[in-house]
Amino acid sequence: MVAGAGPAGLSAAYELATKGRPVTVFEQDPTFVGGISRTVEYHGYRFDIGGHRFFSKSQEVEAFWRNMLGEDLITRQRSSRIFYGGKFYEYPLSLANTLKNLGPVESAACLLDYARAKAHPTPHPTNLEEWVVNQFGERLYRMFFKTYTEKVWGMDCREISADWAAQRIRGLNMGTAIREAAKKALGARRSGQIKTLIEEFRYPRLGPGMLWERVRDQIAAAGGDVVMDAKVVSLKTHNHRVQEVVVRDGTGRERSVRTDAFISSMPLRSLVRAIGPAATPALRDAGEGLHYRDFLTVVLMLDQPFASPDQWLYVHDPGVQVGRIQNFKNWSPEMVPHPNATCFGMEYFCFEGDGLWSMSDQELLALGERELHHIGLLPQARVIDGTVVRVPKAYPVYDDGYRDRVATLVAELARVAENVQVVGRNGMHRYNNQDHAMMTGFLAARNVMGGQHDLWAVNDDAEYLEVLREERAVPMPVGHAPSQSAL
Ligand SMILES: Cc1cc2nc3c(=O)[nH]c(=O)nc-3n(C[C@H](O)[C@H](O)[C@H](O)COP(=O)(O)OP(=O)(O)OC[C@H]3O[C@@H](n4cnc5c(N)ncnc54)[C@H](O)[C@@H]3O)c2cc1C
């Protein structure tokens, strides 16, 4: 039995069903499969929860995508920018464009500031602000790090640990930034156009949901069940094994189903709550100590064929609350129902229950429209329609102590419910991409069929590093630096 029809849960179910094993997936959403990688349909428009680029170093995942999507997996030239101080900066940063936007005086000030930081660095940086200022100087930190990071995580950069910064943006400093920007400029001039993985990506022509709808259909064709509107609320254990799973539908009706094995992609904290009284105090404490960052998208439809060149725009500007803006038509033209329309997804990072989260949809749509005007993306267009999608637990938070909590959870779970395997993003409290979620799903399914795979040995690149198993007494997440594309 599997909890959750996101990439992890559906990959596990696909592996089981196509190997002739009985499998049932319970998904709490009444309509959409794909979890955070779903594609929402609204009045003929299609949009993602964030835009989902398809890229993996795992050959198995790549082969799976090719097999499922074939020609429907299209290649797009990447176009993304940063909006700050009323100006648009190419991203990844280009030297010429950055210098032009900053102007000679501000550029010189940034360089001076950088030289000052190099000459007098904070000796032992303890927080993100100190760490980044040491690498780039105060002015560049304020422009390209501070506001966006604070929007995404809802924390002052001085509250985020320097360790986390070192892992997250390792290898990046002023020297490499300038070298990369210069290489890009030179390469572009020499070869007319250089194509790297950063400059292009693949995307299903109808959005990632297209993939997950196909996977769902193939699970059903192979005899598996994907049950929608079925939230796993309670797990009954006996002899250290989960024996029954209680699911609840939208009307509150509950039913109980027996199981031999349980693969969970539901958030770890919810899993511990579902175990209820059988959970040890250590397990409960560790579960309650996990935190999440939530997310909402204000989707606005415009009566304009072209509204911006980007697929997405990072909004560093502190004058607006929006953190990032997707232009779904630039991901694939088929995401809008007719050529004269455009569809923006304005992404707001928030906490469940905070001011943004609690605003009515009408207020959020009005906020989105005002902020589009402020940024200058609505010069002649009219907003003709709009909707709001709220996504709880979009990001597992890596705060102080989360690693120990996850290690405790894994060790305790193995004692309390030995036939439970946790997979995927919130399932493992892992800030991952689809490919990692899928790989853990495949391996968990193989374990049910007799395999001996350590799911914690799947790294951020979705590679299964079995060798790491020998090195750890307690399974721990590996490769803690989340990749930029998972943002
Ligand atoms: C803004 C954003 C942008 C991203 N961009 C990319 C990208 O460009 N490329 C990429 O590859 N990845 C990207 N990702 C990451 C990708 O979305 C995740 O890695 C992937 O969706 C994780 O899959 P999952 O199955 O582990 O979890 P989820 O997608 O979260 O799916 C879990 C499923 O479980 C269900 N569920 C939860 N609790 C219960 C319960 N109690 N009972 C039943 N069902 C339950 C949920 O409803 C959900 O359907 C992005 C993520 C975000 C937030």
Q: From start to end of 167-307, where are the E strands?
A: 200-204, 225-227, 231-238, 241-248, 254-258, 262-264, 292-302
Distances (CA, A) of 391 to 155, 210, 456: 19, 19, 26
Q: Is the CB of 27 under 6 A from ligand 1?
A: yes
Question: Ligand 1 within 6 A of 208 CB?
Answer: no
Residue pair 40/49 in contact by the 8 Å Cβ criterion: yes
Q: Which atom of ligand 1 is nearest to the CA of 435?
A: 11
Q: What is the pLDDT of residue 196?
A: 42
* Band of pLDDT at residue 415, cut at 50, 70 and 90: very high
Does pLDDT of 97 surpass 70? yes
The winner for highest mean pLDDT among 23-27, 171-175, 188-192, 402-406 is 23-27
Atom of ligand 1 nearest to the CA of 427: 26
pLDDT top residue among 195 and 475: 195
**Domain span(s) for CATH 3.50.50.60 in the chain:** 2-34+61-69+208-290+399-486
What is the structure's pLDDT at 399?
83
Does 324 sit in the ligand 1 pocket, CB within 6 Å? no
pLDDT, residue 186, reads 63
Nearest atom of ligand 1 to the alpha carbon of 233: 41
pLDDT band at 184 (very low <50, low <70, confident <90, very high): low
| Residue 26 CB–ligand 1 contact under 6 Å | yes
Two structure tokens written together for 87: 């100006």
CB 26 within 8 A of CB 227: yes
For a mutational test of ligand 1's pocket, the pick from 1, 32, 37, i.e. the residue with the most ligand atoms closer than 8 A to its C-beta, is 37
Higher pLDDT, 471 or 122: 122
Q: Which H or E element spans position 24? A: strand 24-26
Query: Quick check: CB of 134 below 6 Å from ligand 1?
Result: no
Lowest mean pLDDT among 10-14, 183-187, 287-291, 413-417: 183-187
Which residues share a beta bridge with 80? 91, 312
The mean pLDDT of 41-53, rounded to a whole number, is 96
Report the separation in Å between the CA atom of 437 and the middle of ligand 1, taken as the mean of its atom positions: 8
Residue minimizing CA distance to atom 3 of ligand 1? 50
- Tell me what the mean pLDDT of segment 222-239 comes to: 97
Phi, psi values for residue 338, rounded to 5°? -145, 155
Contact 149 CB / ligand 1 (< 6 Å): no
Residue with the bigger pLDDT between 265 and 197: it is: 265
Task: Please tell me the distance between residue 432's alpha carbon and the centre of ligand 1 in angstroms.
Answer: 9
Spatial contact of 455 and 477, defined as CB atoms under 8 Å apart: no
- Nearest by Cα to 426 from 479, 351, 477: 477
- CA distances to 383, 398, 460 from 371, rounded to whole Å, are 13, 30, 34
- Summarize the confidence of residues 298-310 as an average pLDDT: 94
Report the separation in Å between the CA atom of 440 and the middle of ligand 1, taken as the mean of its atom positions.
Answer: 13
C-beta of 8 in contact with ligand 1 (< 6 A): yes
Percent of the chain with pLDDT over 70: 89
pLDDT score for 462:
83
Given a cut of 80, whether residue 393 has pLDDT beyond it is yes
The pair phi, psi for residue 104, each rounded to 5°, is -65, -40
**pLDDT tens-digit readout, 150-182:** 999 998 999 887 877 776 665 666 676 777 666
* Res. 478: pLDDT tops 60: no
pLDDT for the residue numbered 453: 96
Q: Which residues contact 225 (CB under 8 A, 6 or more apart)?
A: 23, 24, 25, 219
pLDDT band at 475 (very low <50, low <70, confident <90, very high): very low
From atom 50 of ligand 1, which residue's Cα is the shortest distance away? 486
Does 409 sit in the ligand 1 pocket, CB within 6 Å?
no
User: Model confidence at 187, in pLDDT bands (50, 70, 90)?
Assistant: low
Q: Which CATH superfamily is domain 2-34+61-69+208-290+399-486 in?
A: FAD/NAD(P)-binding domain (3.50.50.60)
Between 50 and 36, where is the model more confident? Answer: 36
Ligand 1 centroid distance, CA of 36 (Å)? 3
User: In sequence order, which residues have a C-beta less than 8 Å from that of residue 59 and are 6 or more positions away?
Assistant: none
Instruction: For a ligand 1 pocket test, name from 426, 433, 442, 484 the mutation site with the most ligand atoms within 8 angstroms of its C-beta.
Output: 433
Å from CA of 311 to ligand 1 middle:
21
Which of 205, 182, 191, 209 shows the shortest CA–CA distance to 96? 182
Q: State the average pLDDT over residues 175-193.
A: 60
Tokens of 298: 């204000």
> What pLDDT is attached to residue 464?
81
pLDDT at 190 exceeding the cut of 60: no
Ligand 1 mean position to 307 CA, how many Å? Answer: 29
Cα separation, 370 vs 115, in Å, equals 39
Question: With a 6 A CB cut-off, is 425 part of the ligand 1 pocket?
Answer: yes
pLDDT at 32 over 90: yes
Q: Give the predicted TM-score (pTM) of the model.
A: 0.91
Rounded CA separation 144/146 (Å): 6
- The per-residue pLDDT for 148 is 92
Compute the distance from residue 5 Cα to the ligand 1 centre, in Å: 9
pLDDT of residue 24: 98
Round to whole Å and give the CA distance between 474 and 449.
Answer: 23
Pocket probe for ligand 1: among 39, 265, 272, 297, the residue whose CB has the most ligand atoms within 8 Å is 265
443-465: pLDDT as tens digits: 999 999 999 999 999 988 888 87
Q: Is the pLDDT of residue 477 over 60?
A: no
Encode 34-51 in three state secondary structure.
CHHHCEEEECCEEEECCC
Mean pLDDT of 123-147: 91
Q: Which stretch of 189-193, 248-252, 281-285, 358-362 has the lowest confidence by average pLDDT?
A: 189-193
Q: Which are the contacts of 49, defined by CB distance < 8 A and separation ≥ 6? A: 36, 37, 38, 40, 295, 297, 389, 391, 394
In short, whether 5's Cβ falls inside 6 Å of ligand 1 is yes
| Per-residue pLDDT tens digits for 325-371 | 999 999 999 999 999 999 999 999 999 999 999 999 999 999 999 99
Which pLDDT score, from 0 to 100, does residue 470 have? 37
Mean of per-residue pLDDT scores for the chain: 90
Q: Going along 303-441, which residue ranges are E strands?
A: 312-315, 324-327, 342-350, 383-396, 420-422
Q: Which of 183-187, 361-365, 430-434 has the highest mean pLDDT?
A: 361-365
CA–CA separation, 451 and 15 (whole Å): 13
